[in-house]
Structure 1
C-alpha cells in the first residue's frame, strides 16, 4: 500500500523546520494542529505570531551581514507593508522588532494614530506614505507632519501631489519620489501606472522641492511587481534605478536613501528554493558598484516587506465534508469552506500554497480535486506548485480528514473583504491566534468567531 507519508517523504526533503509529523498527525511550527481542531473546530484561520518576528529578524540579519561583508557604507531599515495584513495583532507583533511602516491608504493614517496612542510607535517612527493619494490621504499625512511626526514621509506619486503639501504643511518635511518602473516584457503595458517618469524627476526636484526650504528630498523609491528575483529584468531595473539615484544625488546633496520596495518571496511549496543570502548580497553589490562608478556615496536602504513578513505565519484549515465521484474518474473532496471567498488568490491569480493533510498520514493516498462550497464552477483547487495534481489520504469510514493550506497570511482577508458579504454567503472562518509564553509554551485564543448570519443580514439591510 502506498501511504501518504511515503509520498511526502519521497517528494520532499521531509520533515522540515516548520513541518513535522507525530503519530501520523501534522505539526506546524511545533503546533499540534489536531489539538487546535479538537478545541475550535473547522473551518479556521490560524496565525502563529512568533513567525512574524522571526521573519523580520531574518531579513535584518541578511542585510546587516551583507553590509558588513561588502563594507557597504549605508544603513538598512526594515519597513512593514501594512496592506499585506492590517490586523492589530500583526502590526503589534511586527513592531516588537524595531521596525517602521509603509502605508498605501488614507485609512492607514488612522491605524498609525491608534498605534501611537497605544505606545507601539513614536513620532520618530518612519511612516513611508506610498500610493496615488486622494485628498483625504494627503490631508491626514499633513496632519501627522504638522503634529511632529518628523519621519512621516510622503512619497510623491505624480507631479501635482506636492501642491497640497505646499499649501498645508507648516513643518520641516522629508519627501520621497517614486519612480515609475518598466513592467516585465510579457506584461500587458510597458510602464507602471504608479510613480513619476524617470525624465521628470530632476525637474520635479529643482522646480517644486528645492526652492521651498520646508521640503527636503531624502528618498527615491521603486518597486516591480515580479518581486526580487534573479532575472535579467530585475537586475536591469535595479541598475537603471540606481543610476537615476546617482544622477539626482549629484544635484540634491540631501538625498541619501533608496527604497527598493518589497518582493522577498515566501515558500509556495514545502521545500525552499530561493537563495536569500545570494540575492541580498548581489543587491548591495550592484548598488555599491554603480555608486562607485558614478562617484557618489552608497545610499541607505529601506525595504518594505509585506508578504515576507506575514505570509508564512498563517494557515487555513478545513474538514473534508464528503467525497464525490464524477464521470467515473474525477474524485472530488468537498471542503467546509470556499477558495473564492477564503483564499481568493487561488481563484484570481492561480496562487498555490503548501497543502498537506493534517491527519491520516498512514493511510493510502489518492489523486483528488478539491471543491469549495459555493455554486461557482471556479471554486476548486487541483494542482500544486511541484505537481499538476493533488494527492491526499483516503478518507476512512467514520473518521474525518483535515487538510491545511499554509503560508496564507498575506492579503487573503483584505482581498476577500473580511467580515463582509461573500459569494453564496459563505462566512468568514473563525480566526485563532497562537503565541508562546516566556517559557516557550503554546497559548491559543480566538480572535474572532465564524461570521454569523445576523452580521450578514445587517449588512444586507435585513432587520434582525
Structure 2
C-alpha cells in the first residue's frame, strides 16, 4: 500500500523546520493541529504570532550581515507594509521588533494613531506614506506632520501632490519621491501607473521642493510587482533606479536614503528554494558598485516587507465533508469552506500554498480535486507548486480527514473582505491565535468566531 507519509517523505526533504509528524498527525511550528481542531472545530484560520517576529529578525540579520561583509556604509531600516494584513495582533507583534511602518491609504493613518495611543509607536517612528492619495489621506498625513511626527514622510506619487503639503504643512518635514518603474516585459503595459516619471524627477525637486525651506527630500522609492528575484529584469530595474538616485543626489545633498520596496518571497511549497543571503548581498553589492562608479556616498536602505513578514505565520484548516466521483477519473473532496471567499488568490492569481493532510498520514493516498462550497465552477484547487496534481489520504469511515493550507497570512482577508458579504454567503471562518508563553508552552485563543448570519443580514439591510 502506498501511504501518504511515504509520498511526502519521497517527494520532499521531510520533516522540515516547521512541519513535523507525530503519530500520523501534522504539527505546524510545533503546534499540534489536531488538538486545535478538537478544541475549536473547522473551518478555522490560525495565526502563529512568533513567526512574525522571527521573519523580521531574519531579514534584519540578512541585511546587517551583508552590510558588515561588504563594508557597506549605509544603514538598514525595516518597515512593515500594513496592507498585507492590518489586524491589530499582526501590527503589535511586528512592532515588538523595533520596526517602522509603511502605509498605503488614509485609513492606515487612523491605525497608526491608534497604535500611538497604545504606546506601540512613538513620534520618532518612520511612517512611510505611499500610494496615490485622495484629499483625506493627504489631510491626515499633514496632521501627523504638524503634530510632531518627525518621521512621517509623504512619498510623492505624482507631480501635483506636493501642492497640498505646501499649503497646509506648518513645520519642516521630510518627503520622499516614488519612481515609476518599468513593468516586466510580458506585462500588459510598459510603465507602472504609480510614481513619478524618471524624466520628471530632477525638475520636480528643483522647481517644487528645493525652493521651499520646509521640505527636505530624503528618500527615493521604487517597487516592482515581480518582487525581489534573480532575473535580468530585476537587476536592470534596480540598477536604473540607483543611477537615478546618484543623479539626484548630486543636486540634492540632503537625499540619503533609498526604499527598495517589498518583495522577499515566502515558501509556496514545503521546501525552500530561495537564496535570501545571496539576493541580499547582491542588492547591496549592486548599490555599492554603482555609487562608487558615480562618486556618490552609499545610501541608507529601507525595505517594506509585507508578505514576507506575515505570510508564513498562518494556516487555513478544513474538514473534508464528503467525496464525489463525478466521472471515471475525477474524484472530488469537498471542503467546509471556499477558495474564492477564504483564499481568493487561489482563484484570482492561481496562487499555490503548501497543502498537507493534518491526519491519516498512515493511509493510502489518491489523486483528487478539491472543491469549495460555493456554486461557482471556479471554486476549486487541483494542482501544487511541485506537481500538476493534488494527492491526499483516502477518507476513512471512522474519522474525518482534515487538511491545511499553510503560509496564508498575507492579503487573503484583505482581498476577500473580512466580515463582509461573500459569494453564496459563505461565512468568514473563525480565527484562532497561537502564541508561546515565557516557559515555551503554547497558548491559543479565539480572536473571532465564525461570521454569523445575523451580521450578514444586517449588512444586507434585513430586519431580524
Shorter-chain TM-score above 0.5: yes
Q: How does 1:19-418 map to 2 (within 5 A)?
A: 19-418=19-418
The C-alpha deviation readout for 1:69-123, integer Å capped at 9, x for no partner, is 0000000000000000000000000000000000000000000000000000000
Secondary structure of 2:318's match? strand
Q: TM-score, normalised by structure 1?
A: 1.00
Secondary structure of 2:373's match? coil
- Once the two structures are TM-superposed, the CA of residue 248 in structure 1 deviates from its matched residue by 0.1
Unpaired segments ≥5 residues, structure 1: none
Q: TM-score, normalised by structure 2?
A: 1.00
Query: Which structure 1 residue ranges, 4+ long, deviate > 6 Å from structure 2?
Result: none
Distance in 2 between the 1:398 and 1:31 partners?
24
Distance in 2 between the 1:47 and 1:124 partners?
29
- Once the two structures are TM-superposed, the CA of residue 246 in structure 1 deviates from its matched residue by 0.2
Distance in 2 between the 1:398 and 1:202 partners?
71
- Once the two structures are TM-superposed, the CA of residue 436 in structure 1 deviates from its matched residue by 0.4
Secondary structure of 1:433's match? strand
Distance in 2 between the 1:246 and 1:347 partners?
42
Distance in 1 between the 2:61 and 2:152 partners?
26
The C-alpha deviation readout for 1:139-167, integer Å capped at 9, x for no partner, is 00000000000000000000000000000
Distance in 1 between the 2:391 and 2:150 partners?
54
Distance in 2 between the 1:149 and 1:445 partners?
35
Distance in 2 between the 1:60 and 1:250 partners?
29
The C-alpha deviation readout for 1:351-410, integer Å capped at 9, x for no partner, is 000000000000000000000000000000000000000000001113100000000000
Secondary structure of 1:279's match? helix
- Once the two structures are TM-superposed, the CA of residue 52 in structure 1 deviates from its matched residue by 0.0
Secondary structure of 1:150's match? coil
- Once the two structures are TM-superposed, the CA of residue 434 in structure 1 deviates from its matched residue by 0.1
- Once the two structures are TM-superposed, the CA of residue 220 in structure 1 deviates from its matched residue by 0.1
- Once the two structures are TM-superposed, the CA of residue 7 in structure 1 deviates from its matched residue by 0.1
The C-alpha deviation readout for 1:278-302, integer Å capped at 9, x for no partner, is 0000000000000000000000000
Distance in 1 between the 2:189 and 2:171 partners?
39
Secondary structure of 1:350's match? coil
Distance in 2 between the 1:277 and 1:71 partners?
16
Distance in 1 between the 2:370 and 2:10 partners?
23
Distance in 2 between the 1:266 and 1:171 partners?
41
The C-alpha deviation readout for 1:174-198, integer Å capped at 9, x for no partner, is 0000000000000000000000000
Secondary structure of 1:174's match? strand
Distance in 2 between the 1:399 and 1:407 partners?
26
Distance in 1 between the 2:12 and 2:172 partners?
55
Distance in 1 between the 2:241 and 2:283 partners?
12
- Once the two structures are TM-superposed, the CA of residue 25 in structure 1 deviates from its matched residue by 0.1
The C-alpha deviation readout for 1:228-268, integer Å capped at 9, x for no partner, is 00000000000000000000000000000000000000000
Q: How big is the alpha-carbon RMSD for the aligned residues of Structure 1 and Structure 2? A: 0.3
The C-alpha deviation readout for 1:435-458, integer Å capped at 9, x for no partner, is 001111100000000000000000
Distance in 2 between the 1:64 and 1:87 partners?
28
Distance in 1 between the 2:361 and 2:133 partners?
51
- Once the two structures are TM-superposed, the CA of residue 327 in structure 1 deviates from its matched residue by 1.3
Distance in 1 between the 2:362 and 2:317 partners?
20
- Once the two structures are TM-superposed, the CA of residue 329 in structure 1 deviates from its matched residue by 1.1
Secondary structure of 1:143's match? helix
The C-alpha deviation readout for 1:44-77, integer Å capped at 9, x for no partner, is 0000000000000000000000000000000000
Unpaired segments ≥5 residues, structure 2: none
- Once the two structures are TM-superposed, the CA of residue 328 in structure 1 deviates from its matched residue by 1.8
Distance in 2 between the 1:353 and 1:377 partners?
20
Distance in 2 between the 1:331 and 1:237 partners?
46
The C-alpha deviation readout for 1:17-49, integer Å capped at 9, x for no partner, is 000000000000000000000000000000000
The C-alpha deviation readout for 1:286-321, integer Å capped at 9, x for no partner, is 000000000000000000000000000000000000
Distance in 2 between the 1:81 and 1:396 partners?
43
Distance in 1 between the 2:57 and 2:463 partners?
49
Secondary structure of 2:102's match? strand
Distance in 2 between the 1:48 and 1:340 partners?
23
Distance in 1 between the 2:315 and 2:291 partners?
42
